[in-house]
Chain A
Amino acid sequence: MNALAARRPRPATTVLLLILALVLGAAALVTFATRPASASSAASGDQIAQGKALFQASCASCHGINAQGTMTGSGTNVAGPALAGVGAAAVDFQVGTGRMPMAAPSIQAPRSKVQFSQEQIYAMAAYIASLAPGPAIPTAAQVDFAKGNAAVGGEIFRVNCAMCHNFAGSGGALTRGKYAPSLAGSTPTHIYEAMLTGPQSMPIFSDSDISVVGKRDVIAYLKAISKEPTQGGSRLGSLGPVSEGLFAWVFGLGLMVAAAVWLGKKAA
C-alpha cells in the first residue's frame, strides 16, 4: 500500500461525508427558500439570475427590460414605474397577493390569484433588491402578532389607518374608482409589507413613522378583531350606516309592510 492509498478515505467515510453534505445542503436550501431576501446579501447569485429571468418574462413589458419603468406614450402616463429601490418587500407584497402581474391596465391593481410560487417570488424580490437598497421582507419575528399588543395596535390603527381602511379594516372608497381594500384575510407579512412600502395609493409608513413594534401591534389588533365574536348578530360587512341603513330599509320596512297587509286582511 503506497502513501496515496493510505490517505484515501474508506468507503464508509465517503458515504458518511456524502450524507453530511446532503443534510447541510438541504438545510441551506431550506434556510434560503424560507427567508432569503431579508437582505440582498443573503440572496445568491443564482437566485438573482432566476429572478431576473422571471422578471424579464413576466414584468418587463410594463416595467422595462431592466426595471427602469416605461411610459404609455400618451402624456405623462406611466405604464409601469421604475422599480429600483422599491425593495424586496414591495415585490413580495405585489406579486404575493396577486396584484402583479396586472391582467390589464386599470386604475388600481386588485387582489387576485397568485401567479407564482413563493420561491419564484423570492427570486424576483432578490433581483429587485439587488438593483438598489430598499425595504426588506420582514422576518418571522417582526410579524409574530402573538407577541403584539392589540390595544396599542388598535390606537395606532384608528389614528393612522382607519380613515381609509375603516374602523374594522373593511376597506373603503377613494377618489375616481380607487379604493382601500379590505384587510380581512391578509397575511401578517403582507400587512407589514403594505405599511412599509405604501403600495398604489397608500402612503408609506416607514419604520420611523410606525415603529417595527408598532407595526406588529397593528397586525395583532387586526388579527384580534377578526377572531372576535360579533356582539349583536351579523356585522353586515362592518361598513357602518350604508349597509345597516340598507338592511333596515329593506327588511325593517318590508316587515312593517307585511304586518300592515296582514292587519288589513279579513279573517276567514
Chain B
Amino acid sequence: MTTGMSDHSADIAPADHPSHPAELARTAPTGQLPARFENPGLPTHIPRMADLDEKAARRAEKQVAALFGLSILGTLGFIASYYLVTEHGSVFVPGIGLMRAENLALGLCLAVSLLGIGLGAVHWAKTLMPDTEVVELRHPLRSSDEDRQALVTTLREEGRKSQLGRRPLLKYSMLGAMTLFPATLTWQLVGGLGRLPHNDLSTTEWNGRYLGGGKWQFVPKRLMRDPENTPIKASDVVIGSVFHVQPEGVLDMTEGKLEAKGKAAVLLMRLNPSDIRSTKELDWSHDGIVAYSKICTHVGCPVGLYEHQTHHLLCPCHQSTFDVTNDCHVIFGPANRPLPQLKITVDSEGYLISAQPFEEAVGPSFWERGS
C-alpha cells in the first residue's frame, strides 16, 4: 500500500498544483475544451475545531460519552419497563390514540438504546477520529510467475505421492463416494416436499367420498353456511343476497380442514332468473340461485366482493372482475378463466345440494391442468 502510494504520489499531489479550473481556463482558448484535463488533486484539508482546540476536543468527547450514556439509560429503561409496565395497560398518545403501553415503552427505550450507540459512534468518527484524506491505489491481482509455477509443482508432486494416478481403484471409489454423498442432502429436500399430489389440485370435497388412490365417488352434499355450519334452504336465499358456503362435513373435519376449505369454498348468490344470460348457468342454477367457486382463477384469492346491482364479482387482490350473469366470465383484470360453476339442486327437504362436482379444477392454473 505504501509503495503504491509513493509510486504515484506525483499524480495525486493536492493543493498548490497549477491545475485549478481558473488556470486551465487561462491556458485553453475560450469556448474550447482543453486537450487534457489535469488531475485537480485533493481539496485542501481544513482542520476541524477538535483538531485545533483541545477544549473543543474534550467537548466532543463529552458529547459522545453522553450519547453512549443515553444508550445505557435506554437499555436499562427497556429492562425496567419489561417488568414494570403491565401487559394490558394502555395509554393515550396524541396522533395515535389509545395504544398498548408496554409496546410503547419497550419501543421507545429500544430506540434510545440503539440510536445512542449509533449517533455516538458517528459523532465520534466525525469529530475525533483522523479525517485526513487517504488515497489507496489498486495493485495487480495476479500472483508472480514464480508463485504460480511453485503451486503447479507442489500439486504435481503431492499428487504423485498420493499414488492416485497409479491406483485407479482408489481414484474411482473415492469419486463415487463423493458424488453420491450430496444425495443425503437432496433426498431430504425432495422427500420433504410431501407425497405426490395425484389429482388433488383437480378435486375438491364436492367430488363426494374419497375412495383412495385419487378416486372419488360422487355423493350429493348439502351446501352449508360458513362459519355457522348450517344447511341452507332454497327459500332462505332472497334475491340480491350472498351466502358463503362450504360442503357438508368440511367444517367438522379435524385433519386437512384448511386445505379442504381452501379448495371447496363456494359463493352462493340469487339473481332474478331473467338477468341470467347464459343457458348453462341457468341450467346449473336452482331458481336463479347460482353457486360459483370462490377461488380466483388468477392466483387463488377468495373472490367475495359481489355488487348485487351490477352483478359484478370482484377479487380483492388484483381486481379481477367476473360477470355473474354470464357464466362468471372475466370482464376485467388479470384472471384468465371464468370461475367454475357448481351445479346445484334441492333435496327432498328443500335444502340446497350439489348435483355434480366441479367440472374443472378450481383456482389458479397449474402445470397438469391443460388450460
Report which A residues bind B (CB closer than 8 A).
155-156, 159-160, 163-164, 172-175, 178, 180, 198, 200-206, 208-209, 211, 214, 229-234, 262-263, 265-268
Q: A204 touching B236 by the CB < 8 A rule?
A: no
Q: List, in ascending order, chain A residues with CB within 8 A of B304's CB.
A: 163-164
Report which B residues bind A (CB closer than 8 A).
46, 48-50, 90, 93, 95-100, 103-104, 107, 122, 126-127, 131, 225-228, 233, 235-244, 269, 302, 304-310, 312, 314, 316, 319, 321, 332
In angstroms, Cα B49 to Cα A241, docked, is 47
Contacts A/B (CB < 8 Å), 27 sampled = A155-B227, A156-B227, A156-B228, A159-B226, A159-B227, A174-B314, A175-B310, A175-B312, A175-B332, A201-B309, A203-B241, A203-B308, A204-B241, A206-B238, A208-B238, A209-B236, A209-B241, A229-B98, A229-B99, A230-B99, A231-B99, A232-B107, A233-B96, A234-B95, A265-B126, A266-B48, A267-B48
Q: A205-B241, A233-B96, A233-B107 are in contact. List 14 more A-B contacts (CB 8 A).
A: A163-B302, A163-B316, A164-B304, A174-B305, A174-B312, A180-B305, A203-B307, A204-B308, A214-B228, A229-B97, A229-B98, A232-B99, A263-B122, A265-B126
Contact with B127, one of A198, A205, A234, A267 (Cβ below 8 angstroms) = A267
Q: List, in ascending order, chain A residues with CB within 8 A of B309's CB.
A: 200-201
In angstroms, Cα B149 to Cα A180, docked, is 76
In angstroms, Cα B131 to Cα A173, docked, is 55
- A233-B312 in contact given A198-B240, A206-B236 (Cβ < 8 Å): no
Closest 10 CB pairs between A and B?
A208-B236, A163-B304, A229-B90, A203-B242, A229-B98, A201-B307, A204-B241, A267-B126, A203-B308, A230-B99
Contact with A175, one of B49, B244, B269, B314 (Cβ below 8 angstroms) = B314
Q: List, in ascending order, chain A residues with CB within 8 A of B306's CB.
A: 203
Contact with B321, one of A163, A175, A203, A233 (Cβ below 8 angstroms) = A175
Q: List, in ascending order, chain B residues with CB within 8 A of A163's CB.
A: 302, 304-305, 316
Tell me how far the C-beta of B7 lies from the nearest C-beta in chain A, rounded to whole angstroms. Answer: 29
Tell me how far the C-beta of B218 lies from the nearest C-beta in chain A, rounded to whole angstroms. Answer: 26
SS class, residues of chain A in contact with chain B? loop
Q: List, in ascending order, chain B residues with CB within 8 A of A202's CB.
A: 308
In angstroms, Cα B232 to Cα A206, docked, is 12
Q: A262 touching B122 by the CB < 8 A rule?
A: yes
Contact with A206, one of B99, B227, B241 (Cβ below 8 angstroms) = B241
Q: List, in ascending order, chain B residues with CB within 8 A of A268's CB.
A: 48-49
Q: List, in ascending order, chain A residues with CB within 8 A of B269's CB.
A: 203
Q: List, in ascending order, chain A residues with CB within 8 A of B307's CB.
A: 174-175, 178, 201, 203
Q: List, in ascending order, chain B residues with CB within 8 A of A200's CB.
A: 309
In angstroms, Cα B308 to Cα A232, docked, is 37
Q: List, in ascending order, chain B residues with CB within 8 A of A172's CB.
A: 316
Contact with B96, one of A173, A205, A230 (Cβ below 8 angstroms) = A230
The closest CB in chain B to the CB of A152 belongs to B227
Q: List, in ascending order, chain B residues with CB within 8 A of A175's CB.
A: 307, 310, 312, 314, 319, 321, 332
In angstroms, Cα B314 to Cα A164, docked, is 9
Tell me how far the C-beta of B46 lies from the nearest C-beta in chain A, rounded to whole angstroms. Answer: 8
In angstroms, Cα B243 to Cα A206, docked, is 10
Q: B236 touching A198 by the CB < 8 A rule?
A: no
Q: List, in ascending order, chain A residues with CB within 8 A of B308's CB.
A: 198, 201-204
Q: A209 touching B48 by the CB < 8 A rule?
A: no
In angstroms, Cα B129 to Cα A266, docked, is 12
Contact with A230, one of B98, B243, B332 (Cβ below 8 angstroms) = B98
Q: List, in ascending order, chain B residues with CB within 8 A of A201's CB.
A: 307-310
The closest CB in chain B to the CB of A163 belongs to B304
In angstroms, Cα B235 to Cα A50, docked, is 36
The closest CB in chain B to the CB of A162 belongs to B304
The closest CB in chain A to the CB of B246 belongs to A159
Tell me how far the C-beta of A256 lies from the nearest C-beta in chain B, rounded to whole angstroms. Answer: 12
In angstroms, Cα B319 to Cα A153, docked, is 27
Tell me how far the C-beta of B30 lies from the nearest C-beta in chain A, rounded to whole angstroms. Answer: 35
In angstroms, Cα B309 to Cα A175, docked, is 12
The closest CB in chain B to the CB of A156 belongs to B227
Tell me how far the C-beta of B215 lies from the nearest C-beta in chain A, rounded to whole angstroms. Answer: 31
Tell me how far the C-beta of A80 lies from the nearest C-beta in chain B, rounded to whole angstroms. Answer: 13
In angstroms, Cα B244 to Cα A155, docked, is 12
Q: List, in ascending order, chain B residues with CB within 8 A of A173's CB.
A: 319
